[in-house]
């Protein structure tokens, strides 16, 4: 599948610009430093002026860390998703929400997939962690138990992960791409726990419920090293 750039409407460009500008503003003191740094590095190919061209974005990513964007029609089977991660390919849809639905999404759109996820694939350590997760997913594609554990790890890191700071620093794409959730994490009632992979693999989640539990990492090094230990524990072949 390819991105059909000529199909985007004037409204789509307007939605992209609105979402991008509002969220970059909102994230300045809330996202982790690496995210903002990566976003800056991608500025020529990822900015508010235009819906990004996936080919151009992939080219810059590839040069830095070897990653690229794989266009998918929507949510895909978890086995295929891990297979793509192991090949340094991150899935993105190409559709964009409407102006009436700026803050409401049933399924991830391009703003979530690209703005939320792609910048951190410029960060070597983060990107390596994601690829290793893919490798383990491929190796254990027939183990329901390991696939569930990996999905929990993915959920509490890549989607909803936070880093420690004077206040929590967001790196999870589910929060980074959402104006509401970015501000929600600072409200009372959210549970902030120290990062613990053993606890994460035993923590169930529900996609349709708002996230209230977060695990705070010290650094992407900690993420990588914790995952390395997990890999040794389950006897996976992922090479570190």
Is residue 173 involved in binding Fe ion (CB under 5 A)? yes
Supply the minimum distance, in Å, between the C-beta of residue 235 and Fe ion: 28
The smaller minimum CB distance to Fe ion, of residues 173 and 175, is found at: 173
Supply the minimum distance, in Å, between the C-beta of residue 47 and Fe ion: 21
Note whether 162 and 214 are within 8 A (CB): yes
Q: How far apart are CA 159 and CA 46, in angstroms?
A: 20
The smaller minimum CB distance to Fe ion, of residues 150 and 173, is found at: 173
Piece of 10-18, 173-181, 206-214, 219-227 that binds Fe ion (CB under 5 A): 173-181
Q: Which residues contact 208 (CB under 8 A, 6 or more apart)?
A: none
Q: How far apart are CA 37 and CA 215, in angstroms?
A: 22
Q: How long a stretch of residues is the chain?
A: 240
Supply the minimum distance, in Å, between the C-beta of residue 108 and Fe ion: 5
Note whether 68 and 62 are within 8 A (CB): yes
Query: What is the size of the binding site for Fe ion (CB under 5 A)?
Result: 1
Q: Which residue's Cβ has the minimum distance to Fe ion?
A: 173
Strand order from edge to edge, sheet including 162-163: 169-170, 162-163, 213-217, 191-194
Piece of 95-103, 142-150, 167-175, 222-230 that binds Fe ion (CB under 5 A): 167-175
Q: Hey, what are 115's tokens? A: 């703005």
The smaller minimum CB distance to Fe ion, of residues 105 and 232, is found at: 105
Q: Hey, what are 98's tokens? A: 């409407």
Half-sphere exposure of residue 77, counting CA atoms within 13 Å on the CB side? 7
Supply the minimum distance, in Å, between the C-beta of residue 144 and Fe ion: 22
Note whether 156 and 204 are within 8 A (CB): no
Supply the minimum distance, in Å, between the C-beta of residue 176 and Fe ion: 10
The mark string for 4-33 relative to Fe ion (x by CB under 5 A, - otherwise) is: ------------------------------
Interaction site with Fe ion (CB under 5 A) = 173
């Amino acid at each position: 599948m390819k991105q059909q750039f000529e199909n985007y409407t004037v409204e789509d460009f307007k939605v992209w610009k609105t979402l991008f500008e509002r969220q970059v503003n909102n994230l300045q003191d809330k996202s982790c430093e690496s995210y903002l740094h990566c976003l800056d590095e991608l500025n020529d190919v990822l900015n508010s002026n235009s819906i990004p061209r996936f080919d151009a974005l992939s080219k810059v990513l590839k040069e830095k860390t070897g990653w690229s964007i794989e266009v998918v029609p929507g949510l895909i089977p978890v086995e295929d998703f891990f297979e793509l991660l192991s090949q340094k390919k991150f899935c993105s849809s190409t559709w964009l929400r409407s102006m009436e639905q700026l803050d409401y999404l049933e399924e991830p759109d391009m703003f979530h997939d690209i703005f939320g996820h792609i910048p951190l694939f410029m960060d070597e350590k983060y990107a390596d962690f994601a690829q290793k997760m893919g490798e383990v997913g491929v190796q254990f594609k027939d183990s329901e138990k390991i696939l569930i554990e990996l999905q929990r790890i993915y959920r509490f890191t890549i989607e909803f992960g936070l880093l420690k700071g004077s206040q929590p620093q967001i790196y999870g794409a589910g929060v980074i791409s959402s104006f509401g959730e970015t501000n929600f994490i600072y409200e009372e009632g959210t549970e902030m726990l120290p990062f613990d992979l053993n606890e994460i693999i035993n923590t169930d989640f529900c996609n349709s419920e708002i996230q209230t539990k977060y695990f705070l990492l010290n650094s992407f090094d900690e993420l990588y090293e914790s995952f390395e230990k997990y890999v040794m524990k389950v006897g996976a072949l992922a090479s570190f």
